[in-house]
């Protein structure tokens, strides 16, 4: 066989078939993706778009709306004459305090708890179980329990403090603007910390012991080991936990709703609560839709960061 | 071998995907409209209360929320829709503290539906915000029940939004019977001589008073606010407080403040429906001063009341930590069932007098007929059966035993109202005012109430320590904007 013939045969053998622009098995692929597509459109995209559409209107529940463009956004953000403007900025500030305080508290206590539980201590399993207990109680039950404990007349705190003579008059944990937010934060941190402890503990247990042994041989102190080995090793876990908890804490209303319902005098009214009170309680769907949408970019960014990090970790 | 397989993996997945797609399409498509059935004579179903969460199905914006350049004021309230031919009727009723309020109504409707041969779904919703939120979501989605109980201003609110239909054909034939309706009933449910809700009940707000404690201290119920303050200081010994006045951002705060305001000569609305409050208004400032004196100086109001919800004063009284509080008789009925001794020790009174006198406080409940319901004539049949004076008298006086005041004047002469417990009731009924006094509760009242503008005023003064004059000026500005809206004047 001549080399020419071989070359010709080779070229025939390697001739590429015509590619379908949609890719191989595209019909099956799209058919299998269709349910997800419907779910995303029906349960995510449509409600979001409808919410945005409502925010562009002056509309009460059950009434035809009047298109007002971005007037609601202007009113909420910039119209200092409007009562909702003050309420919104106040709620934004309170949300920041609430979420920041809750996350910081859970981060510090969660990290310390995880480090203790990761150490060789006696009855480690018992302590772990005990520490995770608050997280296993439904949030509603927890919130009502704290409400009763904080009660000014017959709550356990006031009864105990009065009983031992530390106070004459009851402390108004939930009825004084100065105390209300801190009282709620205390309850939220108590309930939410176990999740942080659990995730940090999982991260800590994944760190190879050899790293600490090597550091010890090199004369590293416990503090330096923590700073140069522990923290970098669990940083991705910390970041994801902080991000997720920030999103959850910001959106969760059960503690505030039950303990103070945003009071007294709006001292604990976070923006989701304000949105509910405007939209459903006060029938004002336009303003009620505008408020949460103003925070949408912030959440979208957080979710983007979390997703990116998680995928990166997965790789 | 591959060639032996009946299905390739790809073929199998293809069939699976096709089946799933078909199933989804079938599930998403609305069922074909069934041909109209002839009236069946099987008993109507009365479903037990379900605590389903409100549907989160977003409303179709297509027809409801078209952008329009016309001002909102141009949107006319719904014309009296032509009653549709009867279909299955859906009734939603929020549970009351007294279960008979809904259960007896359910029994009545069920019997009527059975007799007339149409289907009925009577659903008791959980009490409170969960039920109203679900209802509002259903209205927005265009799927409300046929009949729903509206509280006070809600009757006019849904008319203004074009959601309810006129029911004059049901109310007019009975409105002059039994001495006619009490004043606030017409004020609340009628508009321009047309009825937009079927009168259900007058909800009274008497002061629940621990008569046993007054007797023990050799005291009588205070005639005026000065006496009340004096008495309060003598009887308050924490954890027992004298006056359970709600100061939180809730409905009860609205009621408690307005009831007090009337005694000082103030009111929320003028006869023509305009805002009565003015910056520097003496009666409003006197009322605010009185509240702060009782709260800050006399300390006869529980300090925690600034954060009470609507159940705060109920709980306070029921747990024997209050001497007096103003509330519908749900508090008393709870005591009857759970603390008979406390019920026995309770007596009802009207507001202590201020410089302008004393006035009873009421709100009016109505049954609204919603235009997007499917029941048509059958729903009207049920409403007719409810307002039938003979059945209604039995329901309100024998069935509910004083939970509500009847909407018909002469039914207040029933023996149930002659009991010693209700000896002061006639005084309350004779001077009865609803929040909207002295005009109808139109859109402005709905917005003022639902946005808690009055409660904000109280909180500004009591919690934020804003000067009463400044707080009132801020209130007048906010309320003025609400009253200025064209859609709130209809």
- pLDDT tens per residue across span A9-38: 545 555 566 677 777 788 888 889 899 999
Q: What single DSSP character describes residue B308?
A: -
Q: How many CB pairs under 8 A join A and B?
A: 145
Distance, in Å, from the CA atom of A79 to the CA atom of B33, rounded to the nearest integer, reads 50
In terms of phi and psi (left: phi > 0; alpha: psi -120 to 50; beta: otherwise), the region of B180 is: left
Distance, in Å, from the CA atom of B423 to the CA atom of B209, rounded to the nearest integer, reads 13
Q: How far is B323 from chain A (nearest CA, A)?
A: 15
Residues of A in contact with B161 (CB under 8 A): 60-63
**pLDDT single digits (tens) B37-51:** 333 333 334 333 333
The residue in chain B having the minimum alpha-carbon distance to the alpha carbon of residue A33 is: B17
Helix (H, G, I), strand (E, B) or coil at A92: helix
Contact A152 B304 (CB under 8 A): yes
The pLDDT-based confidence of B56 (bands split at 50, 70, 90) is very low
Residue B26 to residues A34, A94, A183, B141, Cα–Cα distance (Å): 14, 47, 51, 22
Dihedral sign for Cα atoms in the order B314, B319, B325, B331 = positive
Residues of B in contact with A55 (CB under 8 A): none
By Cβ distance, the residue of B18, B66, B307 closest to A264 is B307
**pLDDT single digits (tens) B181-240:** 999 999 999 999 999 999 999 999 999 999 999 999 999 999 999 999 999 999 999 889
Q: What single DSSP character describes residue A69?
A: T
Distance, in Å, from the CA atom of B4 to the CA atom of B21, rounded to the nearest integer, reads 28
Tokens of B321: 């930590």
Asked if the model's pLDDT at residue B14 lies above 70, the reply is no
Percent above pLDDT 90 for chain B: 68
CA B123 to chain CA centroid, Å, is: 17
Contact A169 B238 (CB under 8 A): yes
Contact B249 A266 (CB under 8 A): yes
The maximal CA–CA distance of chain B, rounded, in angstroms, is 103
Q: How far is B207 from chain A (nearest CA, A)?
A: 22
Q: How far is A69 from chain B (nearest CA, A)?
A: 10
Q: What are the residues whose beta carbons fall under 8 Å from the beta carbon of B453, sequence distance 6 or more? A: B447, B475, B478, B479, B482
User: Which stretches within chain A are classed as H helix?
Assistant: 3-13, 26-40, 46-55, 71-77, 83-118, 124-136, 139-150, 156-163, 177-205, 209-217, 222-225, 231-251, 254-259, 271-276, 285-294, 296-314
The residue in chain B having the minimum alpha-carbon distance to the alpha carbon of residue A150 is: B304
In terms of phi and psi (left: phi > 0; alpha: psi -120 to 50; beta: otherwise), the region of A15 is: beta
Distance, in Å, from the CA atom of A164 to the CA atom of A177, rounded to the nearest integer, reads 26
Q: How far is A16 from chain B (nearest CA, A)?
A: 23
By Cβ distance, the residue of A28, A34, A282 closest to B14 is A28
Contact A61 B446 (CB under 8 A): no
Tokens of A139: 């949030």
**pLDDT single digits (tens) B447-464:** 899 889 999 999 999 999
By Cβ distance, the residue of A61, A64, A261 closest to B136 is A61
Residues of B in contact with A83 (CB under 8 A): 478
Asked if the model's pLDDT at residue B429 lies above 60, the reply is yes
The residue in chain B having the minimum alpha-carbon distance to the alpha carbon of residue A155 is: B239
The residue in chain A having the minimum alpha-carbon distance to the alpha carbon of residue B321 is: A153
Q: How much is the pLDDT for A123?
A: 80
User: With contact defined as beta carbons under 8 Å apart, do B306 and B246 qualify?
Assistant: no
Before B239, cis peptide (omega within 30)? yes
**pLDDT single digits (tens) B460-470:** 999 999 999 99
**Range name among A209-213, B57-61, B304-308, B432-436 with the lowest pLDDT average:** B57-61
Contact A64 B75 (CB under 8 A): yes
Contact B307 A177 (CB under 8 A): no
The residue in chain A having the minimum alpha-carbon distance to the alpha carbon of residue B74 is: A66
**pLDDT single digits (tens) A258-287:** 999 898 988 999 999 999 989 888 889 999
By Cβ distance, the residue of B71, B157, B463 closest to A265 is B463
Asked if the model's pLDDT at residue A161 lies above 50, the reply is yes
Residue B315 to residues A250, B84, B124, B153, B320, Cα–Cα distance (Å): 31, 46, 24, 26, 8
Strand order in the sheet with B346-349: B241-243, B322-326, B207-210, B346-349
**For residues A233-252, average pLDDT:** 90
Q: How much is the pLDDT for B7?
A: 53
Residues of A in contact with B250 (CB under 8 A): 261
Average pLDDT, chain B: 85
Distance, in Å, from the CA atom of A73 to the CA atom of A79, rounded to the nearest integer, reads 9
Distance, in Å, from the CA atom of B390 to the CA atom of A204, rounded to the nearest integer, reads 76
By Cβ distance, the residue of B140, B161, B459 closest to A265 is B459
**pLDDT single digits (tens) B328-362:** 998 998 898 899 999 999 999 999 999 999 999 99
Q: How much is the pLDDT for B18?
A: 59
């Amino acid at each position: 066989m001549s080399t020419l013939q071989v070359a010709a045969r080779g070229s025939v053998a390697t001739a590429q078939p015509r590619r379908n622009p949609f890719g191989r098995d595209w019909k099956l692929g799209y058919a299998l993706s269709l349910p997800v597509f419907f779910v995303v459109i029906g349960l995510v995209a449509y409600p979001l778009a409808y919410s945005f559409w409502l925010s562009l209107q002056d509309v009460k529940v059950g009434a035809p709306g009047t298109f007002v463009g971005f007037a609601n956004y202007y009113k909420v953000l910039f119209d200092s004459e409007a009562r909702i403007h003050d309420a919104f900025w106040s709620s934004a500030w309170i949300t920041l305090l609430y979420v920041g305080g809750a996350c910081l508290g859970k981060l510090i206590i969660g990290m310390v708890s995880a480090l203790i539980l990761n150490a060789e201590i006696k009855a480690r399993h018992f302590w772990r179980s005990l520490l995770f207990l608050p997280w296993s109680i439904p949030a509603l039950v927890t919130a009502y329990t704290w409400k009763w404990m904080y009660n000014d007349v017959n709550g356990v705190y006031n009864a105990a403090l009065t009983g031992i003579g530390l106070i004459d008059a009851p402390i108004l944990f939930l009825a004084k603007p100065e105390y209300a937010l801190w009282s709620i934060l205390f309850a939220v941190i108590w309930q939410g910390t176990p999740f942080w402890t659990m995730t940090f503990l999982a991260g800590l247990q994944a760190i190879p012991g050899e790293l600490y042994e090597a550091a010890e041989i090199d004369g590293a102190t416990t503090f330096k080991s923590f700073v140069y080995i522990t923290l970098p090793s669990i940083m991705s876990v910390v970041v994801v936990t902080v991000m997720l908890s920030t999103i959850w804490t910001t959106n969760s209303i059960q503690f505030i709703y039950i303990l103070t319902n945003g009071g007294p005098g709006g001292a604990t009214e976070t923006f989701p609560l304000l949105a509910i009170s405007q939209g459903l309680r006060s029938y004002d769907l336009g303003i009620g839709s505008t408020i949460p949408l103003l925070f949408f970019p912030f959440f979208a960014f957080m979710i983007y960061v979390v997703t990116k990090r998680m995928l990166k970790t997965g790789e | 071998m591959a060639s032996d397989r009946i299905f390739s993996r790809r073929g199998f997945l293809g069939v699976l995907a096709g089946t799933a797609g078909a199933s989804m399409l079938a599930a998403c498509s609305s069922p074909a409209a069934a041909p109209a059935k002839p009236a069946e004579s099987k008993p109507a179903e009365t479903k037990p209360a379900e605590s389903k969460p409100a549907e989160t199905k977003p409303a179709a914006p297509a027809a409801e929320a078209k952008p329009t350049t016309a001002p909102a004021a141009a949107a006319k309230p719904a014309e009296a829709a032509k009653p549709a031919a009867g279909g299955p009727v859906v009734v939603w009723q929020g549970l009351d503290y007294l279960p008979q309020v809904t259960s007896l109504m359910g029994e009545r409707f069920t019997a009527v539906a059975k007799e007339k041969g149409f289907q009925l779904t009577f659903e008791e919703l959980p009490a409170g915000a969960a039920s109203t939120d679900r209802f509002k979501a259903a209205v927005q989605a265009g799927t409300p029940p046929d009949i729903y109980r509206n509280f006070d201003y809600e009757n006019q609110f849904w008319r203004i939004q074009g959601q309810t239909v006129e029911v004059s054909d049901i109310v007019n034939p009975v409105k002059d019977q039994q001495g006619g309706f009490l004043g606030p009933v017409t004020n609340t449910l009628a508009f321009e001589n047309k009825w937009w809700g079927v009168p259900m009940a007058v909800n009274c707000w008497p002061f629940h008073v621990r008569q046993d404690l007054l007797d023990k201290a050799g005291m009588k119920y205070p005639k005026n606010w000065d006496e009340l303050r004096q008495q309060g200081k003598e009887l308050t010994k924490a954890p027992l407080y004298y006056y359970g006045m709600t100061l939180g951002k809730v409905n009860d705060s609205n009621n408690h403040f307005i009831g007090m305001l009337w005694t000082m000569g103030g009111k929320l609305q003028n006869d023509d429906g305009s805002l009565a409050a003015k910056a520097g208004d003496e009666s409003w400032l006197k009322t605010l001063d009185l509240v702060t004196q009782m709260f800050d100086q006399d300390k006869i109001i529980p300090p925690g009341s600034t954060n009470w919800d609507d159940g705060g004063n109920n709980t306070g009284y029921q747990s024997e930590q209050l001497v007096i509080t103003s509330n519908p008789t749900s508090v008393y009925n709870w005591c009857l069932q759970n603390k008979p001794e406390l019920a026995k020790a309770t007596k009802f009174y009207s507001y202590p007098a201020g410089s302008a006198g004393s006035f009873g406080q009421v709100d009016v409940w109505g049954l609204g007929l919603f235009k997007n319901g499917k029941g048509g004539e059958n729903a009207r049949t049920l409403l007719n059966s409810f307002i039938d004076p003979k059945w209604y008298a039995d329901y309100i006086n024998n069935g509910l035993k004083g939970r509500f005041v009847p909407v018909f004047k002469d039914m207040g002469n029933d023996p149930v109202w002659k009991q010693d417990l209700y000896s002061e009731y006639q005084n309350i009924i004779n001077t009865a005012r609803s929040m909207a006094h002295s005009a109808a509760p139109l859109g402005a009242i709905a917005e003022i109430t639902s946005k808690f503008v009055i409660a904000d005023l109280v909180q500004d003064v009591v919690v934020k320590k804003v000067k009463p004059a400044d707080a009132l000026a801020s209130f007048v500005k906010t309320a003025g904007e609400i009253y200025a809206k064209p859609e709130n004047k209809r």
